[in-house]
Structure 1
């Protein structure tokens, strides 16, 4: 685990938490990506025990509560995000437990317990993908589902310069890199698609579905387009990857 990166990222997320309150939660999987209402990857979650990795402000857990999940659990690196989630979910119907913790650590979560673990646009912040996915496997019951979404590995390797799309780095390049996130320094991780899939397989998962589609309706473009996620890039590149896997 990269302690220095986690320290930098924790400070950064605490500083920008208010700006990301309720940003792209379920049923959304990410900007200009298909939604859960279209994909139905979770199915019926009634009475199921669910855990979110990188729960942010708690809005995806709120969605699970509205779908009658049995138990809500979440962890997030940012204490400010956890505080926001506690406030948002204080009147939820399901039992709730939240932990301020890096996803690389187990802060006291039960093992072989959860029906579903999920992560919406958070997994790419891990400083140790192997350790994080090993943790997820331990948390899940056999046959349990792990669903995550993240920015597609090719998206940030391409820049739009005066209307021309140009590779700014090699797709083969992996590992940490310094990212000026929202004007606050952060350490991001970059992996190839095969690394995500193979690390899942190596940690006891069967990959059931991989989604790279984009949604470019007028409504989607109006809601999500900004300087980073643009129609010009999304019409030729996937913005997000969504993967559903099952613990063997």
Structure 2
């Protein structure tokens, strides 16, 4: 599948649906039913730090860091509509950011060896060139700079609830593999009367790409939140699934 066509398809989706997703999955949240920054403290004290967000969306994670006295805010997104929302939202809250409209796969017009943190909250998985994106991110970070990102856990797309049409076989409380863990081919997914195009990468793909880009992994988290894990009443299928497999994952890596 042609990378430029994938990027254009997904850009069109976000331009059309930016308002619907306004403010969702942003710091302190790393993902659905997942532990938060309040639990993990991956960023620590960001006072005076230079921050670059990949796939900044509506700007809510940028505001999160601005509220904590970050020194500089930069954000990139491929969707002009997302960036317009981010600019307006930040302005309404008394903040400004350097916002860039570009695919993350492109080499951004930002300072090199400059940022203290580059991060992405549920955005990195949209890239059509994981290694190139990680290489670019490494070039933006200063030595010992931190890269933090979250995304869907690989198993989230691999398993689903079984559904037997035979009434004498009740398997609705079992998860089964619906696709191969090793299948990293692109697939289309219908969403909001449209479709997005993604691929489901193995954990080792992320690990190896980080290492090749010159990062050392400091933490990898695949921990669902305690409320989900301890819930016992009126449990939805999504919650039941989250009690059995990770829904999201998060990496914290340092540039060597």
TM-score by length of structure 1 reads: 0.93
SS of the counterpart of 2:223?
Answer: coil
Match of 1:42 in 2: 43
Structure 2 CA distance for partners of 1:186 and 1:98, relative to 1, 3 Å: same
Moved more, 92-101 or 8-17: 92-101
Gaps of 5+ in 1: none
Query: Cα deviations across residues 41-93 of structure 1 (Å, max 9, x unaligned)?
Result: 00100000000000000000000000100000000111110000000111556
Tell me whether 1:161 sits opposite 2:162 in the alignment: yes
Tell me whether 1:215 sits opposite 2:216 in the alignment: no
Gaps of 5+ in 2: 164-171
Match of 2:127 in 1: 126
TM-score by length of structure 2 reads: 0.90
Match of 2:167 in 1: none
Moved more, 19-28 or 168-177: 168-177
Structure 2 CA distance for partners of 1:94 and 1:219, relative to 1, 3 Å: farther
Match of 1:76 in 2: 77
Deviation at 1:182, TM superposition (A): 3.0
- What's the RMSD between the two structures over aligned residues? 1.9
Match of 1:190 in 2: 200
**In the alignment, is the contact (CA less than 8 A) between 1:216 and 1:231 conserved in 2?**
no
Structure 2 CA distance for partners of 1:80 and 1:94, relative to 1, 3 Å: closer
Rg larger in structure: 2
Structure 2 CA distance for partners of 1:175 and 1:109, relative to 1, 3 Å: farther
Aligned counterpart for 1:176 among listed residues 165, 186, 204: 186
Question: Structure 1 residue runs of 4+, over 4 Å off?
Answer: 91-95, 218-221
Tell me whether 1:237 sits opposite 2:237 in the alignment: no
Moved more, 103-112 or 22-31: 103-112
Match of 2:67 in 1: 66
